[in-house]
Amino acid sequence: MTKMLNATGKTRIKRPMRIRFRRETGHGGVVPRGYGMAWYEPRRRVGVYFPAPLHLIARAVREMAYRWRVAMEAPAIERAEVFEMQRAHRERERLADEYARGYLNGWRECFSACLTVVEDELERGQETWSAGALLTDLGDAPREN
């Protein structure tokens, strides 16, 4: 390593140059001779290239890393899906209970209204419900339309 002075006068350590095999080329770019495409990144519209034997290894390593990430994230995703299904089931049960409660309340209200009408009829006159009273009671003349 070599010491050099930068613009502020402080010493800067110059690191040796790293050899980089990876090349990224966009559409219409020139691919260096002997390089093969390891993968393509559609969002960036860039192909990633490595020298001929390395591009297959890089592709395999990238694929294994992807599969490892998917495998490690799968339990969390499945757990979230299970909780979502349970939540949806509880919501459906709650709606069904609410519907049934409303249905039963409506039925009770209707039944009590009908019962009230029948009790009023019974209290108004007992003779209305006897067969003889029905045949002989002609108090009101029928109305004309």
Q: Domain map of the chain by residue range?
A: 19-124
Residue whose token pair is 């609410």: 98
The candidate with the shortest Cα–Cα distance to 51, out of 26, 22, 27, 28, is: 22
Residue 145: the pLDDT is 62
Question: How far, CA to CA in Å, does 76 sit from each of 79, 84, 101?
Answer: 5, 12, 37
Rounded average pLDDT per 10-residue block, the chain, 145 residues: 62 71 86 88 90 89 92 83 92 93 91 88 66 58 65
Angle made by CA atoms 117, 123, 126, in degrees to the nearest 5 = 115
Coil, helix or strand at residue 143: coil
Cα-to-chain-centroid distance, residue 9: 59
pLDDT of residue 22: 83
